[in-house]
Amino acid sequence: EVQLVQSGAEVKKPGESLKISCKGSGYSFTSYWIGWVRQMPGKGLEWVGLIYPRDSDTRYSPSFQGQVTISADKSVSTAYLQWSSLKASDIAMYYCARQGGGLDAFDIWGQGTMVTVSS
């Protein structure tokens, strides 16, 4: 079964660092781009960025450039989204998704990782 499994919910303090993960299985992890999508509470979907695990080519939305870092470790079929200093405005559900549908649609999604930032 093709699936993406994300790491569990996180509760952090402002200023702390965080790295969440997304592990792919059931397909060739290095053959598909992996994207990250943010959904703030009660709000819509926002495209964060993409990574191609084979060579770690990465693209960011200007809104997130410099705010987060996307990486991947192809040896463990896992993509990551990380923050060096969390803010309250980072509170959201973060989804990873495989770009494997026709014309680069996200065809497989992870279950989401909820990030809470609170002092």
Partner 1 sequence: DIQMTQSPSSLSASVGDRVTITCRASQSISSYLNWYQQKPGKAPNLLISAASSLQSGVPSRFSGSASGTDFTLTISSLQPEDFATYYCQQSYTTPYSFGQGTKLEI
**Residues in the site for partner 1, rule: CB under 8 A?**
35, 37, 44-47, 49-50, 59-63, 95, 97, 99, 101-107, 109-112
**Cβ-based nearer residue to partner 1, 14 or 26:** 26
Residues 20, 8: Cα–Cα separation, whole Å: 8
| Phi/psi of residue 94, nearest 5 degrees | -115, 125
**Cβ-based nearer residue to partner 1, 8 or 62:** 62
The upper half-sphere exposure of residue 41, i.e. CA atoms within 13 Å in the direction of its Cβ, equals 8
Shortest separation between residue 97's beta carbon and partner 1, angstroms: 8
**Cβ-based nearer residue to partner 1, 2 or 17:** 2
